[in-house]
Amino acid sequence: MDAVATAKPLLSLSFLLLLPSFLPIAVAYRPGDIVPMSRMGQYHSSRTVWQDLIGRHCPIFAVNREVLMPIPKPTGYTGADAYKISSQVGREKFLIPWLLVVNRKSTEVPMIEVDLRYSGSDLHGVTAKVVDMPHHYVEVHPEIRKQFWDSQHWPKHIQSYEPVVSFLDEGGDSGE
């Protein structure tokens, strides 16, 4: 009986000691995994709370992907001021700073280009910028332009493009 009574606490203790070694495996990404993303909006000086996006609007790890991300109508929206969004990406909560998406200085429909920086199964960072949607996109889907510029049509949908272009050198020399 003494051996059994001694073994149980030792097993519990060894499990607790080994648990931290499994954590890197638990947070690693595999190609095809959904990378969690949340979004916040700003109109005038009012900001929304962080809102988690559902999987179909999130980046996919190591996969080229294009999605239409819904942008809800801000409270008090009149169309006179700019509307910006900010995002947090990944379990690491990498921040994408404010991006101007509505009432910017362009007559083109905006598109957000998101670049995930990773090596192996680790996400190292994210950058994003607003670019004009390519004309061939608008020609294939003319309703995107019509709905985006219709001040009464909400939610607006912003095309988000996540190309797989940023691989960091496994040796740690990324040139950055």
Give per-residue pLDDT as tens, 41-80.
999 889 999 999 999 999 999 889 898 899 999 988 888 8
Mark residue 90 as left, alpha or beta (left: phi above 0; alpha: psi -120 to 50; beta: remaining).
left
pLDDT at 168 over 60: no
pLDDT at 85 over 50: yes
pLDDT at 171 over 70: no
Residue 13 lies in a domain: no
Residue 109 lies in a domain: yes
Residue 121 lies in a domain: yes
Residue 92 lies in a domain: yes
Residue 11 lies in a domain: no
Q: In terms of residue numbers, what domain contains 48?
A: 37-166
Residue 176 lies in a domain: no
CA distance 58 to 109: 20
Beta bridge partners of 116: 126
Quote the mean pLDDT of the chain: 83
- The pLDDT > 70 percentage for the chain reads 77
**Other Cβ atoms within 10 Å of 123 Cβ, number:** 21
Residue 66 lies in a domain: yes
CA distance 164 to 14: 41
Lookup: tokens for 58: 């999130």
Report the alpha-carbon angle 25-23-118, nearest 5. 50
Q: What are phi and psi of 122, to 5 degrees?
A: -110, 130
Average of per-residue pLDDT across 125-143: 92
Residue 2 lies in a domain: no
| Band of residue 15 on the pLDDT scale cut at 50, 70, 90 | low
Average of per-residue pLDDT across 114-143: 91
| Band of residue 95 on the pLDDT scale cut at 50, 70, 90 | very high
**Other Cβ atoms within 10 Å of 127 Cβ, number:** 14
| Band of residue 94 on the pLDDT scale cut at 50, 70, 90 | very high
- The number of domains in the chain is 1
What pTM value is reported for the model?
0.76
CA distance 156 to 150: 9
> What's the confidence (pLDDT) of residue 25?
46
Beta bridge partners of 118: 123, 167
Please report how many Cα atoms fall inside a 13 Å half-sphere around the Cα of residue 96, on the Cβ side. Answer: 26
pLDDT at 176 over 80: no
